[in-house]
Chain A
Amino acid sequence: MEAVADTMVDVRAALRRDARRRTATALLLVLPLALFLLLTFLVPIGALLWRAVDNPEIARAVPRTVAALARWDAESPAPDAAYAAFVADLLALREQTDAGMLARRLNTEVGGARSLVMNAWRAQPLPATGDAAAVRAQLIALDPRWEEPWIWQAIAKNGARLTPDYLLAAVDLKRTTDGSIVTMDADRSAFRRILARTFGIAAIVTAITLVLAYPLAWWLSTMAPRRANVLLIIVLVPFWTSILVRVAAWIVLLQSGGLVNQTLRGIGLIDEPLALLFNRTGVVIAMVHILLPFMVLPLYSVMKSIPREYVRAAVSLGSHPLAAFVRVYVPQTYAGVAAGGLLVFILAIGYYVTPALLGGPEDQMLSYSVAQYANVHLDWGMACALGSVLLAATLVLYAVYRRFARMEPALA
């Protein structure tokens, strides 16, 4: 008995060892991928989220001024001590670049701050130091705008290392000087509208791809595998072509003297060329074309696994063929519809090149604003905040999908 128990323990230990070894091997095998994902995916996303709230410029460049303004009510004239602290901060900046970064950051808050700060920096050192009131008088003599409160409000508001301002602005909100959050003027910011448009275009594109892909995938799934494979390759060919090439091809086809308009005019359907380019129509047509394979493939793989006997059984039991299709076949394809729909929708909300080249300014999606802020305005905090909004929207959508998928057993 004793011996048997010992052997049992040995076997158990050996099994455990073996399991551990297997786990270790598995971990080693996925390690390169895990590292790759960490470096190319998680770290950049983390950096993106961080930059959306990071606000180092002012806290770093003018710490004394921030401290001097800590108790200021943001309404009355700024205290003399703030002027003295500001000049001391400027003197402590080592290079022009440091002053330049400060000027840039303040200028994103209020236009005009750039020249104000740079001129003050160039005027250093001021003749009188020590007496705060004298420093104040000198700065105001240099530029009367120093007497106004806005530059001080901008410094006080951004004294903290982290700021919610970029994220607020990404959804058309702003913080006032007293700290309350209000909606921006409609003509100053359009991100809510652009976000809604992004989702709108993605939804339309998803719906059209579904309508086009569903019959195609069904037809493919009823074919002999060999023929289906040939046709699938035809579906996939555009998939392997560069997106820029395809977009350029659409420009050639859709322009007012293009093939589509010429053909339509040739057969007498229209007299005036249709406006297909630089508007929503062109964007939707090209996006549907590009995203179609992402809908066809999941649908096809699901449909192929559905036994045809179910529909036949329904018909043989007296169902109308159409009713059998709608009530027996279609519910079994929900998993494919959901997977394809989610894939197309998520890809579509991140589209940039296609709307940029085929759409007008009224057809640009959120990615365009991200590019605009990153490339043109050089406001990377804002670009990251917009990117974060897009990321959050995608995650919410995915959560909804998961919820939906769990509720409906047929989808799993």
Chain B
Amino acid sequence: MKRLAALLPIIVIALHAHAEGTLTVVNFGGANGTAQKKAYYEPFEKLAGVKILPVEYNGEQAKVKAMVETGKVTWDVIEAESADLDRGCDEGLYEKLDWNRIGPKSDFLPAAVHDCGIGIFVWSTVLAYDANRLKDPPKSWADFWDVKRFPGKRALRKNARFNLEFALMADGVKPAEVYKVLATKDGVERAFRKLAELRPHLQWWEAGAQPPQFLVAGDVVMASAYNGRIDAAQREGRNLAIAWAGGIYDIDYWAIPKGTPNRDLATRYIAFAVGPDAQAEFARLISYGPTATKALTKLDAKTLAQLPSAPANAKDALKFDYRFWSDHGEAMEKRFNAWVTQ
């Protein structure tokens, strides 16, 4: 009986979560999740009189697939990476968006518009380092690979995505040529060879919050990191810095898992969250670029300069090619895994 009593609040919460007027929004957590809460969830809760239940994940599509296949969809809106959105849309994991309710497509960056999703923000995976420890700042991925000039461990995300591109750039391939080279067999071999070169000096990360932690703790001297997470660490007073050249930028999208009972509310939420005011507020909280062109006019010069889309930052950066990854991602990731677990 006592145990039942202890369980009661949990049951109540669980029931509450599925009650009407609750929207489950899935994000990538950490500083990004916190900024979303302030810029999107709280204002929408007030506006619509509903409760938003935030859930964190690292982009795994298996849960979405399992929910859609079993018909028990408890996630209403999710933040999806571009390649996952594109694949999920083809395979029926996501609903087609009702663009009439979201707004004219011309209000957004062309890349932010997709059948099944709309861009939330532009983000970049960049080279980050601790400016207190490296007085002579690294400027490129070639420096990241240079273990003589910069001794110490480096951190990379534990997957093939981005790392193969970084490896090619470190090997002297120009950003504009990267995907052309990677589309060839030799290019893939070259990327894996270059990655293997750095292997004894690598520590892997999986969650976006890890690279700034590793840098602050002094476990690594350099890391690939989401630019917003470095920005968040800077706001906490850490002297971390970004080398923008060779960064890979991409868009994260709002998407609605197929078969959610809250599709209507989910669409309302998305229409609100992609509005220029909400997006501008989000960009002030974390340095991820808005996808609504009108939001950019609401930001001051200082905020704009921190965004991946700022001209100075985007100059030598690479646009993530999700088409390449949705075709070859599986083979690359499997090969990467076989390599990394050997």
The size bracket of the interface on B is 20 to 34
- How far is B341's CA from A194's CA once the two chains are assembled, in angstroms? 8
- How far is B94's CA from A382's CA once the two chains are assembled, in angstroms? 24
Contact A111 B327 (CB under 8 A): yes
Name which of B57-65, B106-114, B275-283 contacts chain A. B57-65
Between B90, B331, B334, B340, the greatest number of chain A beta carbons within 10 A of the residue's beta carbon is seen for: B90
Contact A100 B158 (CB under 8 A): no
Q: What distance in Å separates the Cβ of B202 from its nearest Cβ neighbour in chain A?
A: 9
Q: Judge whether A389 is part of the interface by a CB distance below 8 angstroms.
A: no
Q: Which of B62, B340, B341 contacts A378 (CB 8 A)?
A: B62
Q: Judge whether A97 is part of the interface by a CB distance below 8 angstroms.
A: yes
- How far is B87's CA from A107's CA once the two chains are assembled, in angstroms? 11
Contacts of A375 in B (CB 8 A): 60, 62-63
Between A97, A278, A372, A376, the greatest number of chain B beta carbons within 10 A of the residue's beta carbon is seen for: A376
Q: What distance in Å separates the Cβ of A146 from its nearest Cβ neighbour in chain B?
A: 15
Q: Judge whether A190 is part of the interface by a CB distance below 8 angstroms.
A: yes
Contacts of B300 in A (CB 8 A): none
Q: What distance in Å separates the Cβ of B217 from its nearest Cβ neighbour in chain A?
A: 8
Contact A112 B327 (CB under 8 A): yes
Contact B90 A111 (CB under 8 A): no
Q: Judge whether A166 is part of the interface by a CB distance below 8 angstroms.
A: no
Contacts of A194 in B (CB 8 A): 341
Contact B92 A107 (CB under 8 A): no
Contacts of A361 in B (CB 8 A): 158, 204, 340-341
Interface size on A, residues (CB 8 A): 38
- How far is B159's CA from A95's CA once the two chains are assembled, in angstroms? 32
A157-188 vs B, Cβ < 8 Å mask (1 yes, 0 no): 00000000000000000000000000000011
Contact A115 B91 (CB under 8 A): no
- How far is B292's CA from A185's CA once the two chains are assembled, in angstroms? 47
Q: What distance in Å separates the Cβ of B83 from its nearest Cβ neighbour in chain A?
A: 11
Contacts of B143 in A (CB 8 A): none
Contacts of A115 in B (CB 8 A): 323, 326-327
Contacts of B92 in A (CB 8 A): 95-97, 100-101
Q: Judge whether A209 is part of the interface by a CB distance below 8 angstroms.
A: no
A and B contact pairs by CB, cutoff 8 A, 28 listed: A96-B92, A97-B92, A99-B90, A100-B91, A104-B87, A104-B90, A104-B91, A107-B327, A107-B330, A108-B330, A111-B330, A111-B332, A112-B328, A113-B327, A114-B90, A115-B323, A118-B90, A188-B334, A188-B338, A190-B338, A361-B158, A368-B341, A369-B341, A375-B62, A375-B63, A376-B60, A377-B333, A377-B334
Contacts of B62 in A (CB 8 A): 374-376, 378
- How far is B333's CA from A148's CA once the two chains are assembled, in angstroms? 24
Q: Which of A95, A118, A187, A378 contacts B192 (CB 8 A)?
A: A187
B164-198 vs A, Cβ < 8 Å mask (1 yes, 0 no): 00000000000000000000000000001000000
Beyond A114-B90, A118-B90, whether A190 also contacts B341 by CB under 8 A is yes
Contact B342 A193 (CB under 8 A): yes
Contacts of B342 in A (CB 8 A): 190, 193, 362
Contacts of A278 in B (CB 8 A): 203
Contacts of B332 in A (CB 8 A): 111
Q: Judge whether B337 is part of the interface by a CB distance below 8 angstroms.
A: yes
- How far is B204's CA from A107's CA once the two chains are assembled, in angstroms? 27
Q: What distance in Å separates the Cβ of B314 from its nearest Cβ neighbour in chain A?
A: 26
- How far is B200's CA from A361's CA once the two chains are assembled, in angstroms? 12
B212-234 vs A, Cβ < 8 Å mask (1 yes, 0 no): 00000001000000000000000
Task: Please give me the residue from chain A that is nearest to B92 by CB atom.
Answer: A97
- How far is B220's CA from A256's CA once the two chains are assembled, in angstroms? 13
Contact B333 A376 (CB under 8 A): yes
Q: Judge whether A54 is part of the interface by a CB distance below 8 angstroms.
A: no
Task: Please give me the residue from chain B that is nearest to A356 by CB atom.
Answer: B206
Q: What distance in Å separates the Cβ of B295 from its nearest Cβ neighbour in chain A?
A: 31
Contact B326 A362 (CB under 8 A): no
Contacts of B159 in A (CB 8 A): 376
Contacts of A97 in B (CB 8 A): 90-92
Q: What distance in Å separates the Cβ of B22 from its nearest Cβ neighbour in chain A?
A: 26
- How far is B64's CA from A378's CA once the two chains are assembled, in angstroms? 10
Between A107, A368, A379, the greatest number of chain B beta carbons within 10 A of the residue's beta carbon is seen for: A107
Task: Please give me the residue from chain B that is nearest to A116 by CB atom.
Answer: B327
**Known contacts A190-B338, A377-B330; can you find 18 more A-B pairs with CB under 8 A?**
A100-B89, A100-B90, A101-B91, A108-B330, A111-B331, A112-B327, A113-B327, A187-B192, A194-B341, A360-B204, A361-B158, A361-B341, A362-B342, A369-B341, A376-B60, A376-B159, A377-B333, A378-B62
Contact B338 A111 (CB under 8 A): no
Contacts of A99 in B (CB 8 A): 90
Q: Judge whether A103 is part of the interface by a CB distance below 8 angstroms.
A: yes
Contact A114 B158 (CB under 8 A): no
Task: Please give me the residue from chain B that is nearest to A278 by CB atom.
Answer: B203
Q: What distance in Å separates the Cβ of A385 from its nearest Cβ neighbour in chain B?
A: 13
Q: What distance in Å separates the Cβ of B221 from its nearest Cβ neighbour in chain A?
A: 15
Beyond A95-B92, A377-B333, whether A362 also contacts B341 by CB under 8 A is yes
Task: Please give me the residue from chain A that is nearest to B326 by CB atom.
Answer: A114
Contacts of A376 in B (CB 8 A): 60, 62, 159, 333
Contacts of B89 in A (CB 8 A): 100
Contacts of A360 in B (CB 8 A): 204
Q: Judge whether A394 is part of the interface by a CB distance below 8 angstroms.
A: no
Contact B341 A103 (CB under 8 A): no
- How far is B339's CA from A190's CA once the two chains are assembled, in angstroms? 8
Q: Judge whether B335 is part of the interface by a CB distance below 8 angstroms.
A: yes
Q: Which of A188, A368, A374 contacts B335 (CB 8 A)?
A: A188
